[in-house]
Structure 1
């Protein structure tokens, strides 16, 4: 399976998504530093929110095959600049989280991710497990550039 770095705003659901994907008990915890958990590299939201920390994202991405841009479907804005993904020479995956929430707008979240450079978008909910099987299948795809 590929190694995946999750990048997203603080509170967008990166850590919760990892816990649900790995069938762990969901416990909210603020990611304070780069965390490695199975196939996932979990980055603190501040690394995206503060442009001066972009070099930390670039350095960390060296250890992965996929960079997953994570967008909370309940937010009305995005912190991803246009073509954000172009700084990575990796497969870029977009993951929309919290699609189960009544206030979610997955279509808007998808637009944010496409503008940032994600080509493949997966809609997910860590709570009701929506999209987790599709995410699992996507993460096991072999990228021909890696062969």
Structure 2
């Protein structure tokens, strides 16, 4: 799998998405430090929200193949400035989270990510497992076998 670093503000859904991508039970816990797993780097929202810590995020992008910018469909604003994706020397994708919420506005979140420079955008509901398969397919590399592909071969 291509390694992805997840970047977004606090409560954007980075840790919940990490759990969903790993096939784990969804349990809320606050990410206090950068969690560098095999193919996912889960970062605390404070790193994106604090100027002094933002530079650390840039360093973690070097350890990933893809940068995932997360915006919750329930957010009233977006942290990412227009045209910021060219600053990364990696592919940058957008991920709209919490699309299942009653107050969600996924189209607004999509427009913010497009304005930031994301060309490819995924819509996910991590708790309902919606959009997770599409994201995993995108991260898949030649030779990778996803769990549902294993079931087909048995």
The residue aligned with 1:59 is 59
SS in 2 for 1:93: strand
The residue aligned with 2:36 is 36
TM-score by length of 2: 0.88
The residue aligned with 1:76 is 76
Compute the RMSD of aligned alpha carbons.
Answer: 1.2
Q: Which runs of 5+ in 2 are unaligned?
A: 143-154
User: 1:53: Cα distance to partner?
Assistant: 1.7
Pairing 1:1-147 to 2, within 5 Å after superposition: 1-140=1-140
Per-residue CA deviations over 1:17-60 (Å, capped at 9, x if unaligned) read 11112111111111111102231001111111112222101111
Runs of 4+ in 1 over 3 A off after TM superposition: none
SS in 1 for 2:5: strand
Mapped to 2, the partners of 1:87 and 1:100 lie a distance apart of 31
Asked if the contact 1:34/1:44 (under 8 Å) is kept, the reply is yes
User: 1:141: Cα distance to partner?
Assistant: 5.4
Mapped to 2, the partners of 1:100 and 1:37 lie a distance apart of 27
Mapped to 2, the partners of 1:19 and 1:110 lie a distance apart of 23
Mapped to 2, the partners of 1:121 and 1:65 lie a distance apart of 16
Query: Relative to structure 1, is the Cα distance of residues 141 and 83 closer, same or farther in structure 2, using a 3 angstrom cutoff?
Result: farther
SS in 2 for 1:64: coil
Structure of higher CA gyration radius:
2
SS in 2 for 1:31: coil
